[in-house]
Amino acid sequence: MRISFCPCHRAQFATPASSSASHGPVSGGAIDPSLKLDIAIGSRICATEDVFDAYGHLSVRHPHAPDRFLMTRSMPPALATSDDVVELDLESNGCAGNTKPLFLERFIHGEIYKTRPDVNAIVHSHSLSVVPFTVVEQPMQAMFHTAAHVAAGAPVFDIEDEFGETDMLISDRMKGASLARTLGDKSICLMRGHGSVAVGPSLQHAVMRAVYTEVNAKLQLNAKLLGGRMKPLSAREGELADAVNLLGVGRPWELWKTQTLRAMRAEGVLT
Nearest CA-CA partner of 63 in 39, 41, 43: 39
Stretch that binds Zn ion, among 24-32, 104-112, 148-156, 214-222 (CB under 5 A): 104-112
In the complex with Zn ion, the residue whose CB is nearer, 131 or 264, is 131
Q: How far is the CB of 126 from Zn ion (least distance, A)?
A: 6
Q: Contact at 8 Å (CB) between 152 and 209?
A: no
Give the CA count within 13 Å in the CB-facing half-sphere of 209. Answer: 34
Which span sits near Zn ion by CB under 5 A: 61-69, 105-113, 128-136, 220-228?
A: 105-113
Total binding residues toward Zn ion, as defined by CB under 5 A:
1
**Catalytic, out of 49, 87, 105, 111:** 105
Of the listed pieces 18-26, 34-42, 79-87, 97-105, which binds Zn ion according to CB under 5 A? Answer: 97-105
Is residue 116 within 8 Å of residue 200, measured between CB atoms?
A: no
Q: Which is nearer to Zn ion, 38 or 105 (CB)?
A: 105
**Residue 105 annotated in active site:** yes
What span, in angstroms and rounded, lies between the C-alpha atoms of 30 and 196?
Answer: 31
| Type of residue found at 209 | R
Phi-psi region at 188: left, alpha or beta (left = phi > 0; alpha = psi -120 to 50) = beta
Closest to Zn ion by CB, 105 vs 242, is: 105
* Chain residue whose CB lies nearest Zn ion: 105
Residue nearer to Zn ion on the CB measure, 197 or 215: 197
85 Cβ neighbours under 8 A, 6+ residues apart:
36, 39, 40, 70, 71, 72, 73
* CB of 118 vs Zn ion, minimal distance in Å: 23
Please give the residue ranges that form the binding site for Zn ion (CB under 5 A): 105
Residues taking part in catalysis:
105
